[in-house]
Amino acid sequence: MNKENVKLGIAPIAWTNDDMPDLGGENTFEQCVSEMALAGFQGCEVGNKYPKDVATLKKALEIRGLKIANQWFSSFVLTKPMEEVERDFIEQCKFLKAMGADRIGASEQSYSIQGQMNTPVFDCKYEMSGSEWEKFAKGMNRLGDIAESMGISLVYHHHMGTVVQTAEEIDKMMEMTDSNKFSLLFDSGHLAYCGQDYLQVLAKHVDRVKHVHLKDIRPDVVKRVKEKKLSFLQGVREGAFTVPGDGCIDFAPVFDILDRADYRGWMIVEAEQDPAIANPFEYALKARKYIKDKAKI
């Protein structure tokens, strides 16, 4: 891939889990960002231990040569007043703008089961009705308008246990949203997890992909999650996710599709697992070496 077009980052969720703070609770923010930089990454996303003060966070990142690439935004377009969603969205866009970032990764959390510890992730996913699809698309287009007016691109994070999880749902979402103001955050791991053809999804929508998560899975663990009717969070604890080069996904075709489409932007290694079992620095190094070998960056 073209080194001039692509920036490589890593997510802090490998060091400290946002949904289950006991995973990596002992790891400090300073350790996290120092090890990111030492492993050879250029940037990161925002974690729950990151300083909220812009000046403090900027200083901590700048001395390590890191930049903020993106931040997760939990949208509730279906279940909260749109005025409330817009207010929270604007505040987060302001923070990202101040940090020099130009992406915000939204994921609709209305009816999401991803954070429910005892709800089987493969059995209880919510399906939107026709009217809910209309409301969802209208709300996302509105957030896309707001983001654009602030110099930020809205990228949507499809995710296990949420209303947009499958290839079919991604297709429908992309059809119903404004291609000029609404883009896709492509996540290989979440599509592989639910048995979807992630390469087909990427090839189909690559022209609207503006952010990439490089996430791998351990198929034996995913099979166990399905058979034992485990939740998404239980699957994380079991080790369903891992970094590129440690799971079953061959990322060479992923890199090829992105390269042929002249992808420009961040690729973020993201793999939430128990840091007491999967040492974050060790796995960051493993991912960085794999990407260098496969993508030549």
* 179 CB neighbour count, 10 Å cutoff: 12
Question: In sequence order, what are the beta bridge partners of 267?
Answer: 8, 212
- What is the gyration radius of the CA atoms in the chain, in angstroms? 18
DSSP symbol at 67 = E
> CA-CA distances (angstroms) from residue 29 to 17, 22, 26, 263?
12, 14, 10, 31
pLDDT reported for residue 118: 97
Structure tokens at 199: 């390469």
Structure tokens at 21: 């703070």
Half-sphere exposure of 6 (CA within 13 A, CB side): 24
- 3-class secondary structure, 62: helix
> Which residues in the chain come in under a pLDDT of 70?
none
Please answer whether residues 231 and 117 qualify as being in contact, where contact means their C-beta atoms are separated by less than 8 angstroms.
yes
pLDDT reported for residue 97: 98
- 3-class secondary structure, 97: helix
Label residue 42 exposed, middle or buried (CB < 10 Å: 0-12, 13-18, 19+).
Answer: middle
> CA-CA distances (angstroms) from residue 158 to 40, 56, 149, 165?
27, 31, 24, 5
Label residue 293 exposed, middle or buried (CB < 10 Å: 0-12, 13-18, 19+).
Answer: exposed
pLDDT reported for residue 275: 98
Q: Are strands 6-10 and 265-269 parallel, antiparallel or unpaired?
A: parallel
DSSP symbol at 260 = H
Cα–Cα nearest to 294, from 239, 240, 257:
257
pLDDT reported for residue 137: 98
DSSP symbol at 239 = T
Q: Are strands 216-217 and 241-242 parallel, antiparallel or unpaired?
A: antiparallel
- b/e code 141-157 from CB counts within 10 Å (16+ = b): bbbbbbbeeeebbbbbb
Give the integer Cα–Cα distance in Å for 226 and 182: 32
